[in-house]
Structures are given as structure tokens and as C-alpha cells.
Amino acid sequence: MSEKTFYITTPIYYPSGNLHIGHTYTTVAADTITRFKKLKGYDTYFLTGTDEHGQKIQKVAEEAGVSPKAYVDGIVAGIKNLWDTMNISYDQFIRTTDPEHEKTIQKIFKKLYDQGDIYKSTYEGMYCTPCESFWTESQLVDGKCPDCGRPVEKASEEAYFFKMSKYADDLLKYIEEHPDFIQPESRKNEMINNFIKPGLQDLCVSRTSFSWGVPVDFDPGHVVYVWIDALPNYISALGYLNDKPDLMARYWPADVHLVGKDIIRFHTIYWPIILMALKLPLPKKVYGHGWILLKGGKMSKSVGNVVDPVVLVDKYGVDALRYHVLREMSYGSDGVYNEDLLVSHINSDLANDLGNLLSRTLAMTEKYFGGVISEDRETGDFDDSLIELAEKTPAVVSDYMDKLDFSRALEEIWKLISRSNKYIDETQPWVLGKDPEKKARLAQVMYNLTECLRIVTVLISSAMPQTAEKMAEQLKCPAEYLTWDSIQKFGRFPEGIEVKRCEALFPRIELNKKEETVKENKKTEKKAENKKAENTEALPEGLITIDDFAKVQLRVAEVVACEPHPDADRLLVLQLMVGQEKRQVVSGIAKYYQPDELVGKTVILVANLKPVNLRGVESNGMILAATKGKKLSLVTVDGIASGGKVS
Ligand code: MSP
């Protein structure tokens, strides 16, 4: 067994319908880091699963005329299929209806009760009789049941409660002493200031108003409620309080719980407190990623704007989708899903940059050397800088991967791909090919490119396993040269191998003519701008030329989502679409606007401002506002679509 272990979990998903592209992000991210750690020699364990109990499931199953278990069985089969389609290599798929999980939950509940952390009392809430559901005041919509819209009334039922407050000080101390425990940093501050410091309420952990749950074995009529059933899945999966606790010793505490920002509170407050009460070590890191938003806000079944990953995989292939979600979601922030962006990633990063690099290199190796690179080689200009980057890249990628910053990790790999494409332009193999005297130089150029492709193959293998396999197949690269160690030094690609070009890695998706025209127009504009800049003359102080002004790129942008900054009352975090490009901007306008009010507004963005980090959140540009005295109004435009220029 390896010394180094790595245990990662995704949340267990509610099987209340099809999973969408947002859930896909979490699972692809967890799969990517697991594969990466495995590549680096870790003994990894990757857990995912489903959270199957509760009143909602019981109700839908009743309506469908089947038992809750039969109902969830069907959906869980679909979820497992989705993970197969997405090439997710989990080690265990836990279901909260697994008998072993249920036994562990009963034992945990009893243990906490026996030691006095759980006590019996009365739960009070707003009750909807037709739905047989309790709601808190804040869950009601216009004072009515959020499910059926009918009036609710105050009611109470007997329930067990967990003493959260008892552990609040210990938790605060732990969080402060373990700076990596909650990531990103901004979420940590939100948890401390908004939830722990104001005081923790005891948590209701059992219910009697429905029966679809783990029964409290010492008090018939009660079932364990939500979080005490769901959160311990991370240890019940390892055999905690079970006959086979061997995985527990090997993998606990978890290295990472990867969760969306909406459930970070449960994972960084309830869960560590449960663990403290059980006297178990806490997970090393809880990472709260942002959400994938659609234009106009969240994806939701009731709004009918859910993006189905299976449809996208059918259309574009699994690795295109994996690449897109990983690249799009920058560290901890929200991302926007937009099919145009996906297509532009496929065409430019995958087909153009990566696909072309492979096919050009292999085609030239076949043309000039019959597919076998000669041993007679001669080094020359441009080699050193390419080699330096190729040798530096693995460590940089590894650092970003460890931070779970997949977007940056991919960006670094793409820098090497772009550098290799540039190397082709610099060395001009087609010119070398015409001169028999330059054969040895040409052989070195082809060797260097093939070697970079080998390194890229290893580096992308965790994010895009299928593509890496296809590349290795075309490069005919033996497995021993596809290891992490083998890419630390440039020049390991074995001699005498015959490469074989096959089909394109990523066929280009045809853009419609209009988009091509917009691109052409942009190029022409750029040329004209450059020309103007050449003509600048000396100016009286304080004045600028039209060319100076033209340096500020102002663009029309549409606000597609907006949220309060997690760590600064004054700031809002806006997601903008500028044509097909997505931008995140942090703006100090929280005093003047509610987040929801901004969605749909068309504002003006300073698009070429250097990015800055504002209290842990990246801001990429600035939006214009007019102010006088205590008033502020955003500058908005009508009738011009986002992406438009302001001049
Ligand atoms: N069952 C609970 C989790 C219990 S874990 C002990 C749950 N399930 S869920 O199915 O509603 O959500 C699962 C995960 O999907 C959450 O981490 C949530 O943040 C994530 N996402 C749901 N919609 C999302 C997006 N649109 N974008 C990114 N992730 C999102 O919560």
C-alpha cells in the first residue's frame, strides 16, 4: 500500500430528478483531482452517491403509485449511467438506503443520545396539511406553502435535537487554527461572521410526520432527519461503527469534501460538530465551489432551464464537456453556462490549439520521416525556451491542481500547447524539409514537438482521460513514458517509435456566418486602432488624444447574475456576458442596488482593466456609474446587445 492516501467526496445528490450540468461540475472536478493524485502515486478513494430519504421523495413516490425505494432505484440507475457517460471513476457509490449506512446512522444517533448530545423536545414550524410538510418562516413564499401555494398554519411535533451550541467555541478555535480547513478563504469569513459568531441554534434531527427515513431504533415513530442521515455518509462508506471498519483506518480523515457553496454551512458547521461529538478527526479541507449559472440566474427544474449533460455529451463528446466546465469555473467563483462558450472552447482550445498541434506534428513526421523520428538530430534556435517551459509546466500544473484551481491548471497546460504551436511557426519545418542539409535540424524540431505532445498527454490525462488515450495511441507512446515521473525531464520520448496519425481529436463545430463576420470586423478595427496610435503627437498637459481614449475599451455588458460579496457588505459580485465572453466584476454598489434588481440590466464595462482581487474575489473589469452627493446610478444602455462597443 502507498504511504500517501487521498480521500475525496462529492455531496450525495438528491434523486429528485435528472442531474444537470451544475452537478456534473462537482463530480468531474472530484474525478479530475482523484485521477491526478493517482498519477502522482497516491492511494486514492473517491466517494459519491445519493441522499434518498425524506418527505419529498415519499410524496413523489406516492403520487407515482410506487414505493419510495422502487422510485429512487429507477433514478439512481440513471445517475450511475450519467457518471459512466462522464467517465467518472468513483470507488464507491453510497446510497443512504444501503443497509450498512442505515445501521451506522442508527448507531451514531444512539451514541449521541446516550452521551447527552441529543435530547427530546418539540419542533415548531409552519405546517401545510395537504402536503404534510413543515416549513420555516423563511422557506414560505408570500406566507404560503412553497410547494403547493396553499395556506399554512403553526404546528408542533415531538422531535430530537442536537446540541450544536455546546461545540461552537471548539469549532471556532479549530477553524482559526487550521487556515486550510475552509476554502476558498472568503467562505471561511462568511461562516465565522454570519453563522458561528452570532450563535448556533440546536438542530432538529428527527421527525414523526413522515416515515421515509432511517428509523430511530429506540423510539418507534421517529425517523432520523436530513443532515444526521446525509453527512455521516462520508464515514459510513468507510465502515464506521460497522463490522468492516478497515477503510476508516486507511482513509479517514478525508482530504477534501468538495461541495457547492449552498451546502458549505452544513459541511463546515454541522458536520465538524458531529465529528467532534463522535471524537473523530475533522476533514482536512472543505472546498466550496461556485455555481454554474445560466443567463438570468440559477438553473432550476421549476423554471425549466435545466441543462442536461447527456444531451451535450451526445452532441460534443465527453471530454469537450469536461474541459468546458473545468475551464469555465474559476477558483471558487460562479461560472456561466452558455452553449456558444462551449463551442468556442471546442473550436479554439481543443480543435485549433491542441488538435492541430497533434495532427500537424504527426503529419510532418510521417511526411518527412515515414513516421519514425531519426536519431541523427541537431539542436538549434528556439529549442531552449520550449524545453524550459515544458520542464517547468508539470510543477506549476500540480500546484494549481492541489489548490483545486482546475481552470488555472488547464490554462498552464494550454500555455505549453500554444508555445509548441509557436515553435512550429518559428522553426518552419516546411522550409527545413526542402533542404536535405537541414534534415538533422528538422528531426530535432519534430522530436521536440512530439516530446511536448507526450508531456501534454500526461498533463491532460486527469481532466480529459479519453483524449489522452487517443493521443497516446497516435503517438504510440508506451505506458512507461506516460507516468508523472517520466515528464519531469525533457527528452524521454523513446527513439525508433513509429507514430500514426488518425482521425482529428476534436472536429471543428461550424460557426454560423454572422459570428465569422463579427470576428473579421474585430480584426479590422484592431488594425485601424494600431494605425492611429502611430500618429500620436505631443500634447498640452491634462489633455489626451482620441487615441489615448481609445485605449480604454468600453463594452456593453449584460448582467446575468449578481450576489452579495461573501466578505464585504459594500460590494456586489456581478457575472456579466460581453457578447460571448463571460466576466466577473466586483463593484462597490451594494448600498444602492439589490442583487436581483441588477440582473438583466445592460451596463458599460471597462473591459481592459487589469484584474484585481477584492477581499478574496477576482474582479475582471469595472462597470461605469454616475454619482453626485449620496446618489449613484449605473450607466445603462438600451437597444444595444451585449458585446457592443462604446466610443
Ligand atoms: N443532498 C444534499 C447534499 C448532502 S451532502 C452530505 C444536496 N443535494 S443536491 O443534489 O441538491 O446538490 C448537490 C450538489 O450539487 C451541491 O453541492 C450543490 O451545490 C451542487 N449544485 C446544484 N446546482 C448547482 C449548480 N448550478 N452549479 C454547481 N453546483 C450546483 O444538496
Cell 487556515 belongs to which residue? 179
Query: Ligand 1 centroid vs 11 CA: distance in angstroms?
Result: 7
Average pLDDT, integer, range 414-419 = 98
In angstroms, what CA-CA distances link 86 with 7, 73, 427? 20, 20, 39
Those residues whose C-beta lies under 8 Å from the C-beta of residue 500, and which sit 6 or more positions away, are: 362, 371, 473, 474, 476
Please give the Cα distance from 527 to 9 (Å, whole number): 51
What pLDDT was estimated at residue 298? Answer: 67
What pLDDT was estimated at residue 178? Answer: 96
- Per-residue pLDDT tens for 43-80? 999 999 999 999 889 988 998 899 999 999 999 999 99
Ligand 1 atom 12 nearest Cα: 13
477-513: b (≥16 Cβ within 10 Å) or e: beeebbebebbeebebbeeebebebeeebbeebeeee
How large a percentage of the chain has pLDDT more than 70? 93
In this predicted structure, the answer to whether residue 504 has a pLDDT above a threshold of 50 is yes
Determine which helix (DSSP H) or strand (DSSP E) holds 287, and give its type and residue range. strand 286-289
Ligand 1 atom 15 nearest Cα: 23
Query: Residue 269: pLDDT band by 50, 70, 90 thresholds?
Result: very high
Residues in the annotated binding site for Zn(2+): 128, 131, 145, 148
What pLDDT was estimated at residue 641? Answer: 83
What pLDDT was estimated at residue 532? Answer: 44
Query: Residue 619: pLDDT band by 50, 70, 90 thresholds?
Result: confident
In this predicted structure, the answer to whether residue 97 has a pLDDT above a threshold of 70 is yes
- Of 9, 10, 12, 13, the residue with max ligand 1 atoms within 8 A of its CB, to mutate for a pocket test, comes to 13
Query: Ligand 1 centroid vs 48 CA: distance in angstroms?
Result: 12
Query: Ligand 1 centroid vs 18 CA: distance in angstroms?
Result: 12
> What cell does 226 get?
436530513
Closest by CA to 625, choosing from 633, 617, 637, is 633
Query: Ligand 1 centroid vs 13 CA: distance in angstroms?
Result: 6
For the chain, the average pLDDT equals 90
* Atom of ligand 1 minimally distant from the CA of 230: 6
Ligand 1 atom 19 nearest Cα: 260
Query: Ligand 1 centroid vs 513 CA: distance in angstroms?
Result: 39
Ligand 1 atom 18 nearest Cα: 260
* Atom of ligand 1 minimally distant from the CA of 16: 10
Ligand 1 atom 5 nearest Cα: 11
Query: Residue 615: pLDDT band by 50, 70, 90 thresholds?
Result: confident
What pLDDT was estimated at residue 538? Answer: 54
- Mark residue 13 as left, alpha or beta (left: phi above 0; alpha: psi -120 to 50; beta: remaining): beta
What pLDDT was estimated at residue 209? Answer: 86
Query: Ligand 1 centroid vs 23 CA: distance in angstroms?
Result: 6
In this predicted structure, the answer to whether residue 259 has a pLDDT above a threshold of 80 is yes
Query: Residue 304: pLDDT band by 50, 70, 90 thresholds?
Result: low
What pLDDT was estimated at residue 518? Answer: 47
What pLDDT was estimated at residue 312? Answer: 92
Query: Ligand 1 centroid vs 624 CA: distance in angstroms?
Result: 35
Query: Ligand 1 centroid vs 264 CA: distance in angstroms?
Result: 10
How large a percentage of the chain has pLDDT more than 90? 66
What pLDDT was estimated at residue 159? Answer: 95
* Atom of ligand 1 minimally distant from the CA of 231: 6
- Of 263, 266, 329, the residue with max ligand 1 atoms within 8 A of its CB, to mutate for a pocket test, comes to 263
Query: Ligand 1 centroid vs 287 CA: distance in angstroms?
Result: 13
What pLDDT was estimated at residue 521? Answer: 43
In this predicted structure, the answer to whether residue 474 has a pLDDT above a threshold of 90 is yes
- Per-residue pLDDT tens for 514-558? 455 445 445 534 544 444 444 444 566 777 777 678 778 899 998
Ligand 1 binding pocket, CB closer than 6 Å: 11-14, 22-23, 25-26, 51, 230-231, 233, 259-260, 262-263, 291-292, 299
Tell me which of 298 and 612 has the higher pLDDT. Answer: 612
Query: Ligand 1 centroid vs 25 CA: distance in angstroms?
Result: 10
Please give the Cα distance from 191 to 487 (Å, whole number): 41
- Per-residue pLDDT tens for 9-31? 999 999 876 788 889 999 999 99
Ligand 1 atom 24 nearest Cα: 22
What pLDDT was estimated at residue 35? Answer: 98
- Of 26, 79, 265, the residue with max ligand 1 atoms within 8 A of its CB, to mutate for a pocket test, comes to 26
- Of 27, 72, 262, 287, the residue with max ligand 1 atoms within 8 A of its CB, to mutate for a pocket test, comes to 262
Query: Ligand 1 centroid vs 80 CA: distance in angstroms?
Result: 16
What pLDDT was estimated at residue 536? Answer: 42
- SS3 of 45-87: EEEEEECCCCHHHHHHHHHHCCCHHHHHHHHHHHHHHHHHHCC
* Atom of ligand 1 minimally distant from the CA of 260: 19
Ligand 1 atom 7 nearest Cα: 13
Residues in the annotated binding site: 128, 131, 145, 148
Among 13-17, 299-303, 371-375, 559-563, name the one with the lowest average pLDDT: 299-303
Q: What is the DSSP letter of 629?
A: T
Domain ranges of the chain: 339-487, 513-547, 552-646
In angstroms, what CA-CA distances link 571 with 152, 493, 555, 568? 36, 52, 22, 6
In this predicted structure, the answer to whether residue 575 has a pLDDT above a threshold of 90 is no
- Per-residue pLDDT tens for 305-354? 678 899 999 999 999 999 999 998 887 788 888 888 899 999 999 999 99
Domain at 552-646, CATH from 2.40.50.140, 3.40.50.980, 2.10.260.10, 1.10.287.1770: 2.40.50.140
What pLDDT was estimated at residue 519? Answer: 55
339-487 falls under which CATH superfamily? Isoleucyl-tRNA Synthetase; Domain 1 (1.10.730.10)
- Mark residue 199 as left, alpha or beta (left: phi above 0; alpha: psi -120 to 50; beta: remaining): left
Does the model's pTM come out above 0.75? yes
What pLDDT was estimated at residue 1? Answer: 47
What pLDDT was estimated at residue 2? Answer: 54
What pLDDT was estimated at residue 27? Answer: 97
* Atom of ligand 1 minimally distant from the CA of 292: 27
